[in-house]
């Protein structure tokens, strides 16, 4: 009886397969986390660099001022006068 149980246990590979899949899933999830973390830092650096190159009042206010000068009394001229 014990010999039969040991033979069945030795032939059963379901547990080993489950462990292999779980280790593979853990490895893939760690790689995805590391990649997403690095991507997040890179994007943050890019946005910070971009924010340093744009003037404080921004391109929109320059557009409003230019258009307001060309069309006094327009809706855009009124928007350009708002703080």
Range of the domain at 23: 2-81
Q: Which pTM value belongs to this model?
A: 0.46
Count of structural domains, the chain: 1
**What pLDDT sits at residue 28?**
96
* Per-residue confidence (pLDDT) for residue 63, from 0 to 100: 62
Torsion on CA atoms 11, 14, 17, 22, rounded to nearest 10: -150
Give residue 31's pLDDT.
96
End-to-end CA distance of the chain: 89
| pLDDT (tens place) for every residue of the chain, 83 residues total | 666 665 665 666 667 788 888 999 999 999 999 999 999 999 999 988 887 777 666 556 666 666 556 566 666 556 656 55
Stated as kind and residue range, the H or E segment containing 8 is helix 2-11
């Amino acid at each position: 009886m014990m010999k039969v149980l040991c033979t069945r246990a030795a032939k059963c590979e379901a547990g080993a397969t489950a462990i292999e899949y779980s280790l593979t899933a853990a490895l893939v999830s760690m790689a995805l986390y590391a990649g997403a973390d690095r991507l997040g830092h890179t994007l943050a650096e890019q946005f910070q660099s971009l924010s340093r190159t744009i003037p404080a009042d921004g391109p929109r206010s320059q557009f409003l001022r230019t258009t307001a000068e060309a069309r006094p009394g327009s809706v855009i001229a009124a928007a350009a006068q708002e703080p």
